[in-house]
Structure formats: structure tokens, C-alpha cells
Amino acid sequence: MQPAPTRITPSRAKQLNRNLGQFFWLLLFLGIPLALYSLWVVYPTIRTFTLAFTNYDGLSPPQWIGWANFKELFDWRPGGGGEVLKQALIHNLIWILVFITVPTSAGLALALVLNQGVRFDRFLKIAFYLPLVLAPVVTAMVWGWIYHPQQGLLNTVIYEILRFVHFIGFNVDPESARSIGWLGDPNLSLISVIAAAVWRQVGYVMVLYLAGLKTLDSEVLEAAKVDGAEGFNLFRYMILPMLAPVTTIVIVISIVDSLRSFDLVNVMTNGGPFNTSEVLANYMVKASFHDYRQGFGAAIAVILFLITFVFSVIYLRQVMSQEERTA
Amino acid sequence: MSATATAQPQLRVRKVRKGPNPWVLGVVWVFALLWLIPFVGAIITSFRTFDDLNTRGFWSIPQELTLNNFVRAWNQAGVSRYLLNSFEITLPALAIAILFSSMCAYGLVRFRFRLSTPIYLMFVAGLMLPFQVLLLPVFFLANKLHIYDTLWALILFHSAFQLAFCTFVLRNFMKTIPFSLFESALIDGANEWIIFRRIALPLLLPGLAALATLEFTWIFNDYLWAIVLLQSDQLKPITTGLANLRGQYISDWPLMVAGSLIATVPTLIVFFALQRYFIDGLTVGATKG
């Protein structure tokens, strides 16, 4: 314990007394929360790392098997134990690529438009916020209904369009729309799930950019406008660079959210058909609780952790630099 | 006629200069309406009968509107119990997380000690943690503590896990309170607990409101942990309950959608009542750092 150097203390005895008192209060304020956090978050994180090196199946005592789980996971030869992991990694990567491009640019564009004070902007903002309020499970359920081949909204719309095309004389069968299985077709399942996730993410990115735009220095922008910067140039050379810190956060959050994605996949497809929409998080849960290979599941969790960690460091560094500026 | 014709162009010129290009605004409107389609579609479906939808299709004009889907979901499918469970998990977890994190934030800001920054960073790192990493050990821990398949498992885990985000946000809020306020209270003879209760907490109120709205939504909407830590059907919160129903009423979309809408009502109420705080909460982590 160190008292603040600026404080004036009359004597050493008093100082010691004060230190003891401070220690007591620290214990009171931090003790229980830290104990709770250590028990349920810190300890389990460490435990996962040790479990990953065992063959634990949930019943018999775990045995140390070294790197065997990881060797199996990275055996990417056809028929090897790592085939699903490879697929999941590719799917997570696709998810990341979509997430850092589509919702990010859409959210930024919406924020730029809505920041200019348009009429009914409250209504417009709420339209994009609402998906954020829904439970991911509910989102998955509603989208599952949208994608339903026979009764779903999407195929019904396509059916009506085809019927119109047929009506004006083209040779198409409107009924063929009913056979599009958005979640059942191996080529469509992943992108269909991601579309539902994008629906949710756009509002979040928009909120972050709207907050970022409010912090911009309006005097600097006015000065630029007086100097003749307008339209795209104003955006490209003034607003975008000023928004750079927000963009960093948005991209890191998008990547981490992509890696954590679980609920939508689990409810909509559970990774299927044939693992064509499998992601790391869902694969991990499946391996642990359906196949009872908990050591193996822990190894998948470790891989997920390490990938996420790289991006967390970027975020941590940003937070740290803000710390130094305010300290 | 001629008066309005001359007045209009002027008005339009002024508007274009102030707001965005009308074409751009048009696109935004199209997207906003597109974004609402799942909601509107779900609401319409939930008021229709199964047969009506099945035989006549989604775009047909409803023969009859019915509240029956909501009634069936509420009674027969057990949504009422699931919803109650959700509240019994969310409210205590929220209270514990908010109380402990404000204590934690006070401790970290009020006292200068060597571990202050490492502890803070530990919480920030927790924000980014893929929670799946905790899955198996938390499951074992709940078993070992004999709270597996009880609501306590979820309450304790949620409150502990959310401590990271809450402490992060509240610490940064706490930092904006002038330090001299604490010091002068100390000189007036107040002890640290009284300073925390009477000075820090009231000043934190806007932050607490933002946090509580956001946390309520998050804990209420949790799905993964309810799968992992609960087994009995009568304890399930609305999220896993709904997923469970899907297996039973596989093609009964009106019932499923009605259940989903009921599940959304509490978070919608919180959102509309405390909208400003909700938005503040979402951005606080990103812009205030």
C-alpha cells in the first residue's frame, strides 16, 4: 500500500495508522467483488487451459494427454480430426470479413445522414436500434420463420415476384420459390445466418458512430467548410480521420463479436447442414456437451481465446493510451 | 395555386442545404422500413390462426384476427413460467452486479495503491473474453458448489461475469467526480462507507441508470448460460424456454412468434422507458474508454 505522495502526513505513526485504515477499506470495497470475479471468471479461464491438455469426458477422472487434442484439431488432412475445426475457422473468418465491411459501412453511412438532423430521425433511429433489444434467440426464431421454405416471408416474396414475372409472359414456375431452403441448403446456410446477424449489428455500429460524431470539433469542421471542403472531400479528409478512434473500436468489437457468435447459429442451424454453418463457439459447445469430449472442447476454447486475445490487445492498448492522457 | 407554387421552390432550397440529399434520405427510409419488416411480419403472424396462414398464405387478407396464439403460448406452452424465471434470474443478478461494481469502482478510484491499474486492466480484459472459454469450468464449479440446476448458479455467474463491464464503466464515471469532494467529507468526519453511500452513489446515478438498462437487456436475453447451468424445464428462463418450445411446436409458427413477442416485451419496455440511458450505455465503453 502506498499513500498518495501529495498528501501531507504529520508523523510516521499517523501515516502507518492511515495505511492500515486504508487497507481495511480497500478490503471492504474490493474484497467480495474480487473474490466473486476470481471464482467465476479468472479461475475458470485458467482451468480451461489445463483441461485442454486432458482427455476429460465428464465422468472418469481427467488424464494428462499433452498436446494430443491440439494435434487432432490441427490434423487437416481429409478424414482427419481437425476437419470441422478448419471449417469453423473459415466460417468465422467469413463472418469477420462480412462484419467489418457491411454493418460498419452501413452504420457509418446511417450515422452520417441521421447526424444532420433530419425529420423523424427518432423514428429512423429506433428502426435500427430495435434489433439490438431483441434476444438473439428471438432474432434467430423470427429469422427462422422468415427463411422457412413453405411459409416463410422471404420465399413468399420471391413467389409473388415470380408469379408476376410469369404473368407478364416469362416461362418461370412460381412454385420453385418454395424449394429454396435458406437454412437447409449447404451453400446458403452460413450466409443466411450471417444476414440475420448483420440485421442486428448495423444499429450497434450506428450508435457508436453517432456518439463519435457528437464529439467531433465543430469549429474545425466549420473552418474546413469555409476553406471550401464539402461533400465527399469533407468526409474523406476531415470526418473520417477524426473518427479513426471510433473506427478502431468498431472493428475490434465486430471481430470479437464475430468470434463469439453462438446463439444465432445454435438456434437457426446448429452448425448444419454438414457443418456448413459451424462456428468455433458452437463447435466447442457441441464437442463438450453432445459428444462428451470436454478436454477436446476445452482445446477448442483455448484456440478461440488465443485468436480473440490478439484483438483484445489492440483494444487494451487503446484504453491504456486514454488512461495515460487523462492521468 | 400560384402562391404555393412560388413558395415551394424556396422552401426546398433551404431544406437541401440543411439536411442530406433527398435521394440519400429516401434510401435511408427504405432501409429503415426494411429493418422493421421482421417485426411487422411477426406481429401480423402472431394475430392470425394457424389454418388461415397455412391454407391461404402470408399475404392473404386475414380471415379473422385472434389473440388465441398469445393465450396458448402463455398458458399451454408455459411462457408465463419461463418469463417469471427470467425475472427471478435477471433482477438479483443485476442488483448484485451493480452494487459490487460500484463498490469496486469506488475502491479503485478513491484509493491509490499499486494494484489499482492491474485490477482495472483485468476487468477490461474480461470485457473481451470469449465467454465460451469459461463454459466447462463454470459448469464443473456449479456442480461442485451444489448449485447446478438452480437459479443461484445463473444469478451468481451473471453477476460475476458482468462485474467486468460494470466496473469498467463505473470507474470511468467515478473518475469524473472531483476528488476534493471525498477529501472534504473525510475531514468532516464521514467514514469511507458513508462517503460512498452519500456522495459517490448519488453522483453516479446517470451512469448507473445507463448501465442497468443495458445489463438488464443482456442478462435477460442470455441463452448460452441457461443451457449450460440449468436442466429442469420449470427453471428455464424465456430464452431457453422458447428454444425448447420450438422442438415441441415445430411448425406452429403463430404460436412460436407470439411466444417470441411476449419474450421481447420486458426488454422493449425497458428500452422505450429508458432509451436515452440505453444509448448512453452502449457508447460509454467505446467513446469514453
The span from the CA of A131 to the CA of A119, in Å, is: 22
Mean pLDDT of chain A: 86
Does the pLDDT of residue B11 top 70, yes or no?
no
Is residue A36 less than 8 Å (CB to CB) from chain B?
Answer: yes
Q: CB-based contact (8 Å) between A312 and chain B? A: yes
Distance from CA of A121 to the nearest CA of B (A): 10
pLDDT top residue among A188 and B54: A188
pLDDT at B106 (0 to 100): 93
The three-class DSSP label of residue B58 is coil
pLDDT of residue A237: 84
Give the ipTM. Answer: 0.83
Cα–Cα distances (Å) from A256 to A15, A143, B283, in that order, read 46, 23, 16
- Ordered structural domains, chain A, with CATH: 18-51 (no CATH), 86-147+182-326 (1.10.3720.10)
Cell numbers describing residue B269? 419496455
What chain B holds in terms of domains, given with CATH numbers, is: 2-72 (no CATH), 78-288 (1.10.3720.10)
From A268, which residue of chain B is nearest by alpha-carbon distance?
B243
How far is Cα B181 from Cα A185, in angstroms, rounded to an integer? 63
Q: Which three cell numbers stand for residue A266?
A: 445454435
Q: Is the pTM of this model over 0.95?
A: no
Quote the radius of gyration of chain B (alpha carbons, Å). 25
Question: Which helix (DSSP H) or strand (DSSP E) does residue B120 occupy?
Answer: helix B116-128
Q: How far, in Å, CA of A154 to CA of A159, rounded?
A: 9
C-alpha cell at A50: 489445463
**Helix, strand, coil % (nearest 5) of chain A?**
70, 0, 25
Beta-carbon separation of B28 and A114 below 8 A? yes
The helix (H) or strand (E) run that includes residue A114 is helix A83-114
Q: Which of A120, A115, A128, A103 is nearest to A213 (CA)?
A: A115
Q: Which cell numbers hold the place of A211?
A: 456518439
Looking at residue B19, what is its pLDDT?
65
Cis peptide leading into B62, omega within 30 of 0?
no
Give B-chain residues touching A322 at CB under 8 angstroms.
289
User: In sequence order, which ranges of A134-243 are alpha helices (DSSP H)?
Assistant: 136-146, 153-167, 189-215, 218-226, 231-233, 240-242
Nearest CA of chain A to the CA of B141: how many Å? Answer: 8
Q: Say if the Cβ atoms of A145 and B141 lie within 8 Å.
A: no
Q: Residue A191 and residue A199: Cα distance in Å, rounded?
A: 12
Quick: pLDDT tens for B64-108.
788 888 988 898 888 999 999 999 999 999 999 999 999 999 999
> How confident is the model at residue A92, as a pLDDT?
95
B86 touches chain A (CB under 8 A): no
Q: Which of B120, B128, B250 to mutate to test the interface with A (most CBs of A within 10 A)?
A: B128
Q: Within A216-242, where are the H helices?
A: 218-226, 231-233, 240-242
Interface of B with A in 256-285 (CB under 8 A): 256-257, 260, 263-264, 267-268, 271, 275, 278-279, 282-283
Residue B281 CA to residue B274 CA, distance in Å, equals: 11
CB A30 within 8 A of CB B104: yes
Average pLDDT across each block of 10 residues of chain A; the chain has 327 residues. List them in order: 51 74 86 94 93 87 88 85 91 95 94 86 89 89 86 85 87 82 91 94 91 82 79 83 85 88 91 90 91 91 91 80 68
Give the mutation candidate from A95, A102, A118, A243 for the B interface (greatest B CB count, under 10 A): A118
